[in-house]
């Protein structure tokens, strides 16, 4: 009875495990690479795909003539040193040596002519990016073995990479092929494809505008993002300097780390006057709610070009000479980008109320964008903030934000008051097109009422019509926006002549469908966001209008 029970256990209970051990002992395998999922734009234009290639291996125990194999492979493949390869083969420390990946068909055909015993090749895949350097900071790149290393290639790697298969050859105990039976083929499971919210045509427009700005101002960097304020979907994101995704400069690690860094998401900066949108939104909303500390929309601010806060003078960017910035209400303060007016608002509302809005608009925390390494920005803790800090925060100093935070917050301010989480991927599917997952727009919270949002959007339209943002004006179209010129600091002091110019714009202002934020770091020859960044946004919007055949105001 014991013998029968033991036979039953071996054959039935442990059968699969023992079979697996036997297969492993008596077979050797070659990998069959899974095809990485394709990355598409919103209109199914491929942004990252695959091209057929091969991987070459040496099964060391099957090599009959190590010298001939090493010499031959060094002749076929550039960068293979014969003596070093020979030493690896005869050392016997590795049963399998990867000679080369991403080998083309012509080279494999040449290899086959040599008929080298112990040398094998199998199907592999090489990543190919049809648009070269476009979206390099967004898409990211893969390693030599096809794993995501940065960008969306890394963030969605578990979906994109799939699972490799293998070809099994029967072998003897020391690993030499028996060669009397056919190989077994275990198919690879290809990766899933992802569809982005990116619009390849809008991306093309942004790339062209970036190259124009980069050549004109030779800045340290310049970047622009376009998103849909009504959903949080990112339609384009372009940044220079960049690099060709089909020729990743792996040998220059410092440059690669810099050029592949998505500054819109992982870097923070003082936003300057673009932040005045939040201060204005807070005042409008509090006024509509009946808060007596808020200023009425017709209130005329003190025309002085400075305020004294905590014993220190905080100035406007201009002297107010010859009646400049006189008779300013909130709309005019936005038009003129007058610092003292926003200082008055912040100090009147108080730090608790201002910090309620800072939190509601998403500053000091991540937006939740589907991307690795998102920065928090820097907000002075409410318990530590002084009157002088609060005064400067009101116009975008003493606070650091990420560009994606600013874009998402501005979208919420003008889209009717809803904060949408920004995102890149809208859909995940298999190679047959079967949908595995759909990612829908996500509302995180309401920041201001719809009425307050409409009032603010109208004020920002006036900024472009007749105020500091008029270089973004497009005849026949309702464009709103706000300029920003931020100082940079080095060793704790203001760096003279080093500024970050920005402009955030949207259209149509009555029901925004496109929002663009342009940032230019240390442009040469440019003085203000109004003269450097606003024209960038205008060019982007002009391109979208023509491409999408958008009709203007009749």
Q: For 186-229, write each residue's pLDDT tens digit.
A: 777 889 999 999 999 999 999 999 999 999 999 999 999 999 99
At 231 the pLDDT is 98
Q: For the chain, give every residue range classified as CATH 3.40.710.10.
A: 200-246+266-548
Q: Is the pLDDT of residue 3 over 60?
A: no
Tell me what the mean pLDDT of segment 285-293 comes to: 98
Greater model confidence, 126 or 381: 381
Q: Is the pLDDT of residue 84 over 60?
A: yes
pTM: 0.85
At 287 the pLDDT is 98
Q: Is the pLDDT of residue 124 over 80?
A: no
At 525 the pLDDT is 81
At 22 the pLDDT is 38
- Estimate to the nearest angstrom the gap between the alpha carbon of 62 and the chain centroid: 47
Neighbours of 188 (CB within 10 A): 18
Give CA–CA dist 104/124, Å, rounded.
Answer: 10
Q: For the chain, give every residue range classified as CATH 3.90.1310.10.
A: 29-169+191-196
User: Of the ranges 182-186, 233-237, 498-502, 546-550, which one carries the lowest mean pLDDT score?
Assistant: 182-186
Give CA–CA dist 385/365, Å, rounded.
Answer: 18
DSSP state of 487: E
pLDDT band for position 344 (cuts 50, 70, 90): very high
pLDDT band for position 397 (cuts 50, 70, 90): very high
Strand runs labelled E in 171-310: 184-186, 193-196, 221-227, 234-240, 306-309
Question: 3-state DSSP helix/strand/coil percent for the chain, to nearest 5?
Answer: 40, 25, 35
Give CA–CA dist 418/411, Å, rounded.
Answer: 8
Tell me what the mean pLDDT of segment 329-337 comes to: 95
Q: What are the Cα distances from residue 312, in Å, to 123, 265, 276, 345, 388?
A: 70, 34, 21, 18, 8
CB-based contact 506:228 (threshold 8 Å): no
Q: Is the pLDDT of residue 70 over 70?
A: yes
Give CA–CA dist 132/273, Å, rounded.
Answer: 35
* 3-state SS class at 514: strand
At 33 the pLDDT is 74
User: Of the ranges 78-87, 260-269, 329-338, which one carries the lowest mean pLDDT score?
Assistant: 78-87
User: Of the ranges 9-13, 228-232, 301-305, 419-423, which one carries the lowest mean pLDDT score?
Assistant: 9-13
pLDDT band for position 435 (cuts 50, 70, 90): very high
Greater model confidence, 116 or 368: 368
Greater model confidence, 278 or 14: 278
Q: CATH classification of 200-246+266-548 is 3.40.50.150, yes or no? A: no
Greater model confidence, 74 or 554: 74
Tell me what the mean pLDDT of segment 405-433 comes to: 96
Give me the chain's average pLDDT, please.
Answer: 89
Give CA–CA dist 141/133, Å, rounded.
Answer: 11
At 29 the pLDDT is 57
At 324 the pLDDT is 80
pLDDT band for position 92 (cuts 50, 70, 90): confident
Q: Is the pLDDT of residue 4 over 50?
A: no
At 322 the pLDDT is 80
Query: Which candidate in 273, 429, 453, 468 is catalytic?
Result: 273
Q: What are the Cα distances from residue 192, in Å, to 159, 285, 464, 483?
A: 5, 45, 44, 42
Q: Is the pLDDT of residue 26 over 60?
A: no
Strands 193-196 and 39-40: parallel
Is 273 known to be catalytic?
yes
For domain 29-169+191-196, the CATH class is alpha beta
The share of the chain scoring above pLDDT 90, in percent, equals 68
As a residue count, the chain comes to 554
Q: Is the pLDDT of residue 348 over 60?
A: yes
At 25 the pLDDT is 39
Residue partners of 374: CB distance under 8 A and separation at least 6: 265, 266, 366, 367, 402, 404
Q: What are the Cα distances from residue 139, in Å, to 41, 129, 144, 346, 465?
A: 11, 9, 16, 40, 37
Residue 452, preceding peptide bond in cis (omega within 30° of 0): no
At 24 the pLDDT is 41
Six-digit token string for 265: 């998401």
């Amino acid at each position: 009875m014991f013998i029968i029970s033991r036979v039953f256990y071996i054959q039935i209970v442990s059968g699969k495990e023992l079979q697996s051990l036997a297969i492993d002992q008596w077979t050797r395998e070659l990998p069959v690479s899974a095809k990485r999922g394709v990355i598409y734009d919103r209109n199914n234009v491929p942004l990252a795909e695959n091209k057929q290639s091969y991987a070459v291996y040496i099964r060391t125990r099957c090599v009959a003539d190590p010298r001939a194999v090493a010499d031959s492979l060094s002749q076929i493949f550039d960068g293979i040193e014969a003596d070093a390869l020979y030493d690896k083969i005869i050392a016997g420390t590795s049963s399998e040596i990867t000679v080369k990946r991403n080998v083309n068909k012509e080279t494999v055909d040449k290899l086959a002519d040599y008929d080298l015993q112990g040398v094998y090749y199998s199907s592999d895949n090489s990543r190919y990016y049809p648009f070269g350097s476009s979206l390099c900071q967004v898409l990211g790149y893969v390693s030599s073995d096809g794993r995501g290393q940065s960008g969306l290639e890394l963030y969605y790697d578990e979906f994109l990479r799939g699972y490799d298969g293998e070809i099994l050859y029967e072998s003897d105990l020391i690993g030499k092929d028996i060669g009397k039976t056919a190989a077994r083929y275990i198919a690879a499971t290809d990766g899933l494809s992802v569809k982005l919210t990116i619009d390849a045509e809008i991306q093309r427009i942004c790339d062209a505008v970036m190259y124009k700005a980069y050549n004109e101002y030779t800045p340290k960097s310049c970047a622009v993002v376009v998103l849909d304020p009504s959903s949080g979907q990112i339609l384009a994101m372009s940044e220079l300097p960049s690099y060709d995704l089909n020729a990743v400069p792996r040998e220059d690690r410092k440059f690669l780390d810099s050029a592949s860094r998505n500054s819109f998401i992982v870097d923070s900066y003082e936003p300057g006057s673009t932040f005045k949108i939040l201060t204005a939104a807070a005042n409008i909303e509090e006024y509509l709610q009946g808060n007596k500390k808020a200023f009425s929309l017709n209130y005329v601010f003190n025309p002085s070009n400075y305020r004294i806060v905590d014993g220190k003078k905080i100035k406007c960017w201009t002297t107010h000479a010859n009646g400049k910035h006189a008779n300013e209400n909130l709309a005019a303060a936005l038009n003129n980008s007058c610092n003292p007016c926003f200082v008055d608002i912040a100090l009147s509302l108080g730090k608790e109320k201002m910090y309620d809005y800072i939190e509601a608009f998403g500053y000091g925390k991540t937006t939740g964008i589907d991307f690795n390494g998102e920065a928090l920005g820097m907000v002075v803790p409410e318990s530590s903030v002084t009157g002088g800090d609060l005064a400067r925060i009101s116009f975008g100093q003493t606070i650091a934000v990420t560009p994606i935070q600013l874009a998402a917050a501005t979208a919420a301010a003008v889209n009717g008051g809803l904060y949408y989480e920004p995102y890149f991927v809208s859909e995940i599917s298999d190679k047959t097109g079967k949908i595995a997952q759909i990612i829908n727009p996500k509302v995180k919270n309401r920041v201001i009422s719809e009425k307050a949002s409409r009032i603010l959007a109208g004020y920002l339209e006036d900024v472009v019509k007749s105020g500091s943002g008029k270089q973004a004006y497009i005849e026949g179209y309702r464009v709103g926006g706000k300029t920003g010129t931020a100082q940079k600091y080095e060793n704790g002091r203001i760096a003279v002549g080093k500024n970050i110019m920005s402009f955030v714009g949207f259209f149509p202002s009555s029901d925004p469908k496109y929002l663009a934020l342009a940032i230019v770091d240390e442009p040469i020859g440019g003085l203000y966001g109004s003269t450097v960044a606003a024209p960038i946004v205008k060019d982007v919007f002009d391109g979208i209008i023509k491409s999408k055949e958008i009709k203007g105001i009749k």
